[in-house]
Structure 1
Amino acid sequence: MASSPTKDDKSAAPVAVPSRSPHDDVDDVSLQKGDLLDLESIDPVLNAKMRLVNDAIDEIGFTGYQAKLFVLNGFGYAVDSLILLIQSIIATNAAYEFEPSFDTGLTIAAYTGMLVGALFWGLSADVIGRKFAFNVSLLLSSIFAIVAGASPNWIVLGLFISLAAFGAGGNLVLDTAVFLEYLPSKDQWLLTLMAAWWGLGQLVAGLFAWAFLPNFSCSGPESETGEPCNWDTNPGWRYVWFANGALVFVMSISRITIIRLRETPKFLVGEGRDAEVVDTLQWIAKKYNRSCSLTLDMMQACGVTDTNNGRRGSVSAHGKSKFSFSELTVHFKGLFASRKLGLSTSLIWFSWLLIGLAYPLYNVFLPTYIATRGAQLGGLSPSEQWRNYAISNLSSIPSPILAGFMCKSRFFWGRRGTMIIGALVTMAFFFAYTQVRSNAQNLGFTCAISFCLNIYYGTLYAYTPEVLPSAHRGTGNGISIGLNRIMGIVSAGVATGANTATPVPIYICAALYIVMAIVAACFPYEPMGRRSS
C-alpha cells in the first residue's frame, strides 16, 4: 500500500489508498474498488475517511432512522409538486377576480422562487451543512403559502407564491442529499422510490382543487359576466392555498418533532470533524442495536485533513474562507475534478434543462388540456374536469415504485436504462395523446403519461446526487434544479406563444423526451452496485 503524508503533518499515519500509476484513470480505479467516485488524486485523506464512513453505514444497515428520513424527506418532494401545481390550478380562478394583463405571471413567480431557492439552499448546504435547511425550509414555505390565500391583488399573490416556492424549491435540493448520505449502499435504490412522494403531492393538489374550486368559484371575470367576482363569490382558490399551507405547516413541525436530525457524516468528513462523524454513527448504531466498528483512532489513522488558513477542513471541500467567492469556486471546480466527472456533470445539467421545459409544458398546463379536450369531446363539468385531474395525478404515484425496482436490476441496465425506457415510453404516449377521440381515451392517455413521465423524472432526481461528490453535492444538485427552474420560466413564454389548447406543446414535449433518452444513454456512470461518495 502506498503512503501519503498530509501537507500539514509530515508524521501523519499512512493513508490507505491502492497503489497505482500516475497514468491510471481515477474513475476506473474507483469502479474496481466498488466506489462510484473517488477523489484520490485530489485529497487522499478525505477519500480514505469517506470509505471508512461508507463501511460504517453499510455495517449499521437500514434502521428506523433511515425509515423516518424516507418519510420526512419525502414531505419535501410532496411540497415541491404541491406548490408548482396549486399555482397552476388556481391561476384561472384568481385571474377571474383580479383580471391581470399577464396570465402566466404566477407560473413565472413560482419558478423564479424555486430557482433562487435551489441555488441559495444548494450552495449553502455545502458551506454551513444540510441540517439548517432541512429544519427551516418547509416552515418558510408553509407560512407564505397560507398568506398567499389572503392576497389582495395579482402582484401580491405572485410575490407570496414566489416566497413559498423559495422554501419548497430549496428544500428539494436537500431531500435527496440528506437521505442518500445516511443510506447503506445496498439501499441507495430507495432514493428513486422516494419520488412516489412527489406523485402524492400531485394527488393532494388535485384533491384540493376538486374539493374547493367547483363549488366555490365564480363563472368568469366580472367584466364579461356582469356578476361580482370577489372574495365572497370566488373564495375557492383561497381555500386551496389555506389548506395547502396548513398541510405543509404540519409537515414542517413533524420534521422537528419526529426526528432530531444530526448533520450528515459525509458533510462532517469534509469539515474535518472526525469526532462528530464517529459520534453520529455510533449513536445510530446504539439506538437501533446495531454494530459499528468505526472509531476515532481509525479516522485519525488516515491522516489529518488539510487546513485552509488555520481553519480545519479539506482543501478539496472548501476554499480559504467559507463565506467567500473562493468557496463557490472550489465547489464548482469540484464537479469537474476529472474528465469523466466533468462529462457526467455536464450531461446531468443538460438533462435538467430538457426536463425543465418538457415537464411544465405538459403537467403545469394539464388542467387546460383536460378542459379544452373535454369541450371538444362532448364537454365535461368543472367537477368532472377536476376529478379527472386528480385521477391522472394519482397515476403518478406508483411509477417511482416501479422505477425503484427497475433501477436496481441489470435486466433494465440500472439507473441509465430505467431513464431511457421511461423517456421513450413517455414520448410514445405523448404522440398518441394527440389522437384522442373520446373522454375515456382522454383520461386514459393522461393517466398513462403521468405514470410513465415519473419513471424518468423520479430516477433522474435520484441519479443526480448519487453521481456527485459529497463535498459538492449541494452545489451540483442546486445548480441542476436551478437550471430546471430556469426552463420552467421559459416554458411559460412557450406556452403563451404555442397555445396550450392545441397539440403543439405536446409535440414539443415528445421531441424533448427523445433527446432525454439519448443523453441518458451517454451518462458515463452507473450507480447500480456502487457506493456513492
Structure 2
Amino acid sequence: MSVEAPVTLVSPEKGYANDDEIEKKMGSDSGEAGPEKIGQEQEVLGVLDLDPALNKKMHIVNNTLDEIGWTPYHWKLFFLNGFGYSVDALQLSLQGIIAGQAVFEFSPSYVRGLTIAVYVGMFVGALFWGFSADIIGRKTSFNVSLFICAIFTIVAGASPNWESLGFFIATSAFGAGGNLVLDTTVFLEYLPSNKQWLVTWLASWFGVGCTVAGLVAWGFMPNYSCSDPNVAPFTPCTKANNSGWRYLMYTMGTMIFLMSMARITVIRLRETPKFLLGQGKDAELVHNFQEIAEKYNRPCSITLEQLEACGTISSAHSRSKFSVGEFWIHIRNLFITKKIAFSTLLIWLSWAMIGLAYPLFNVFLPSYLASRGVEFGVTSTYETWRNYALVQVCGIFGPMLAGHMANWAPLGRRYTMIIGAVLTMAFFFAYSQVTSQAQNIAYSYVISFTLEIYYGTLYGYTVEVLPSAHRGTGNGIAVAFCRFMGAMSAVIATVANTETAGPIFICGALYGGMALCAFLSPFEPYGKRAS
C-alpha cells in the first residue's frame, strides 16, 4: 500500500506523540484548538497514568483514528449499530404492545409476566455480551446477537400458551440485550475524536425502533384483536380472532433477521482497534488501520515499531482468558482509583434509576394513554395506537439535539444530561395534572423528546469514561442494572396501577436523582479522547 512516510509518533524519552510534528506532517495549519487538531487532545483517563504502556499506545491509536478521520466505513457502522438500538427498543415495545391481547387470549395468573420475561432476558444478555465483548471480542458478539433475537421473536409469535410465550420473549431479549453494550462500544472505538459526540446520536435509533413497532401495531392491533372477554357482551378470545399480536411478532422478527444479515453482508467488521490494543495484537491493529486507509485513500502513519517501543500492556487481561481471574480483572479495574470508582458507581446508579423510570413511562404508556383517553372521552383503539406511534416519533429527535448540546463547550456531556433530566422531571410532574386529551398527548410528546436528551447522552457518556479494556464489562453491568430495575418496574406497576398518576410521580423524582448524579460525575469527556 502506498502511504506517506511514517512520522515519529513516539519519543523514547516521553513515549508520547510529538504533536507538532504530526500536525506539520499532515498539513494542519488552522491554529485552532479543539477536536480537529490531531494529537492535541488528552485522553479522558490518560492523566491517571494507570498503565504507562497502555496510555502511550492509546495516544498513538487515537492519533491514527484522527488522522484517518471520518469515512464511509463509519457511515456503515452508524447504520448497522443503529439497527441494534432499534431492536433493543423493539423488544421493550413489543411486549408492552402485545401483553394486553395475549392476556385476553391466555388468561394468565400474573399479567405482568411478559415484562418480567423481557427484562430478565435483557439482564442476562447485558452481562453475557458485556463480558464476552471484553474477553472474546466485539466482532463475534456483534455478528451473532441480532440473529438469536430474530429467530426467537418469530417463534414467539407462534406460542401456544403463556408460559412458552414468556420463554421465547426472554430468549429473544437475551439476544437483543447486548446491543446497548456492543453498539456504543464498537462505534466509539472506531471514531475520530471530533466525532465522538455521534455516539449520542445513536440513541435516535431507539426512537426509530419504537416508532416502527408503534406503526406496525397501529396497522395490526385495531383490525385483528379481540375485545376484552371480561366485558359484556362476552366473546371468547382465541387465536382465530386475536392474531394481531402474532402478526406483529412475525413482522418484527423478519425485520430483525434482515438486519442481522445486513451486519454480515453490508460490512466486513474488523475487530475494534482498542480491543486489539488491550489484547496485545499490535500487528493486526496496524494491518486493519492500513487496510481502511488504503480503501478510503486516507493517510495512515502508524507502524508496528511505534507500538512496540511503548512497552507491554500489563493491566488489561489475566494469564488465562477463560478464568475467574479474567472476570475479576475486568471488574476490579473499574474501581482501580477512587476517582474511577466514584465515576463507575454514579454511572451504575444512573442506569439503575433510568431502568425504573423509563419503562414506567414508555412500556406502560399504552395503558396510561388508553385510561386517560377514556377519561377524556376517547375510546378508539385506533386513536390509542396512533397516539402511541406519534409519541415514539418525538423520541427520535431528542438525541439529535443532545448530540449537538454535548459537543458545545459551555455544556459538554454532563450539563446536557442535567438539562435533559431536569426538563423531563418538570414535565413529568406537570403531566400528572393534565385536564384534557390535548394536554395528555402534548405532554406525552414533550416527555418523549426530553427524556431522550438525557438517555442519549448517558449512552455516549458511559462508554467515553470507561477504560477501553474493560468497557464491555462496565457498560454491560450498567445496562444489567437498568434491566433489573426494569423487571422491578413490573412489580411496582402491579401495585401502583399504571392507569393512575402514581408512576408518573415516581418517574419525575427519579429524573431529579439522575440530574444529581450527572452533576457529581468527576469526568467531562468534551474536548478529550476516549481511552
| TM-score, with length taken from structure 1 | 0.92
Which residue in 2 is equivalent to 1:269? Answer: 277
| Contact in 2 for aligned 1:99/1:221 (Cα 8 Å) | no
The equivalent residue for 1:38 is 46
The 8 Å contact of residues 319 and 330 in structure 1, kept in 2 or not, is answered as: yes
- Work out the CA distance in 1 between the residues paired with 2:234 and 2:415: 56
Structure-2 residue corresponding to 1:334: 333
Deviation at 1:32, TM superposition (A): 9.7
Query: Which residue is equivalent to 1:146?
Result: 154
The alpha carbon displacement at 1:77 in A equals: 0.4
| Residues 450-470 of structure 1: CA deviation (Å, up to 9, x unaligned) | 000100011101110000010
Residue number among 436, 439, 442 corresponding to 1:438 in the alignment = 436
Whether the aligned pair in 1 keeps the contact of 2:41 and 2:527 (CA below 8 Å) is no
SS at match of 2:395: coil
| Partner in structure 1 of residue 258 of structure 2 | 250
In structure 2, the residue matched to 1:22 is none
Equivalent of residue 529 in structure 1, options 520, 523, 527: 527
Partner residue, 2:6: none
Distance 1:399 1:350 in 2: 22
Deviation readout 1:322-362 (Å, 9 max, x if unpaired): 11110011001111122111111110001011101111111
Uncovered stretches (5+) of structure 1, i.e. residues with no partner: 1-11, 19-30, 306-313
- Residue in 2 aligned with 1:195? 203
Contact 1:122 1:170 in 2 (8 A): yes
Q: Quickly say closer, same or farther: Cα 1:524–1:429, change in 2 above 3 A.
A: same
Distance 1:301 1:254, change over 3 A: same
Q: Which residue number in structure 1 is paired with residue 398 of structure 2?
A: 399
Contact 2:118–2:169, Cα closer than 8 Å, also in 1? yes
The answer to whether residue 304 in structure 2 is matched with residue 296 in structure 1 is yes
Q: Give the CA deviation at 1:478.
A: 0.2
One-letter amino acid of the counterpart of residue 486, structure 2 = G
CA contact (8 A) 1:145 1:245 kept: yes
Q: Is the 8 A contact 1:334 1:472 kept in 2?
A: yes
Taking the aligned partners of 1:171 and 1:422, their CA distance within structure 2 comes to 23
Structural mapping, 1:80-229, within 5 Å: 80-221=88-229, 225-229=233-237
Written as runs of structure 1 = structure 2, the 5 A alignment for 1:15-26 is 16=15
Q: Does 1:425 align with 2:423?
A: yes
Q: Judge conservation of contact 1:17–1:40 (CA < 8 Å) in 2.
A: no
Work out whether residues 427 and 511 of structure 1, in 8 Å CA contact, stay in contact via their aligned partners in 2. yes
- Superposed CA RMSD in Å reads 1.6
Displacement after TM superposition at 1:194 (Å): 1.0
Structure 2 distance, partners of 1:78, 1:327, is 32
2:346 corresponds to which letter in structure 1?
L
Counterpart residue number, 1:319: 318
Aligned partner letter, 1:82: L
What displacement does 1:320 show? 2.2
Q: Deviations over 1:430-461 (max 9, x none)?
A: 11111211111111110001000100011101
Counterpart-to-counterpart distance in 2, 1:112 and 1:94: 19
Q: How many residues align?
A: 500
Residue 382 of structure 1 is matched in structure 2 by: 381
Task: State the shift of 1:172 in Å.
Answer: 2.2
Within 2, Cα distance between the matches of 1:222 and 1:446? 29
In 2, Cα distance between equivalents of 1:36 and 1:94: 48
Q: CA 1:477 to 1:131, structure 2 compared with 1: closer, same or farther past 3 Å?
A: same
The answer for the alignment partner of 2:507 in structure 1 is: 509
* Structure 2 counterpart of 1:64: 72
Structure 1: distance between partners of 2:234 and 2:200: 51
| Residue pair 1:17, 1:44 contacting (<8 A) in 2 also | no
1:302: Cα distance to partner? 1.4
Counterpart contact for 2:41–2:529, Cα < 8 Å = no
Cα 1:225–1:118 shift into 2, 3 Å: farther
CA contact (8 A) 1:14 1:301 kept: no
Hey, what does 1:456 align to over in structure 2? 454
Deviation at 1:62, TM superposition (A): 0.5
Distance (whole Å) between structure 1 residues aligned to residue 41 and residue 381 of structure 2: 58
Post-superposition shift, 1:223? 9.0
Q: Is the 8 A contact 1:134 1:174 kept in 2?
A: yes
Letter in 1 for 2:514: M
Please say if 1:358 is aligned against 2:357. Answer: yes
Measure, in 1, the Cα distance between the counterparts of 2:362 and 2:231.
Answer: 30
- Asked whether the equivalents of residues 133 and 171 of structure 1 are also in contact (C-alpha less than 8 Å), the reply is no
Q: Is the partner of 1:395 in helix, strand or coil?
A: helix
SS of residue matched to 1:261: coil
What's the CA shift for 1:260?
0.4
Name the amino acid aligned to 1:196: S
Q: Are 1:81 and 1:198, in contact at CA under 8 Å, matched by a contact in 2?
A: yes
The Cα shift of 1:225 comes to: 4.9
Give the partner amino acid of 2:406: C
Q: Distance in 2 between matches of 1:133 and 1:405?
A: 30
Identity of aligned residues (%): 58
Residues in 1 aligned to 2:256 and 2:114: alpha-carbon distance in whole angstroms? 20
| Aligned position for 2:57 | 49
Instruction: Tell me the amino acid that sits aligned with residue 276 of structure 1.
Output: E
Report what 2:347 is aligned to: 348
Find out whether 1:496 has 2:494 as its counterpart: yes
After superposing on structure 2, the runs of 4+ consecutive aligned residues of structure 1 that deviate more than 4 Å are: 12-15, 222-225
1:476 has 2:474 as partner: yes
Distance between the aligned counterparts of 2:183 and 2:319, measured in 1?
A: 28
SS at match of 2:450: helix
- Distance change >3 Å, CA 253–CA 72, structure 1 → 2: same
The alpha-carbon deviation at position 36 of structure 1 amounts to: 0.6
Which residue in 1 is equivalent to 2:8?
none
Gaps of 5+ in 2: 1-10, 18-38
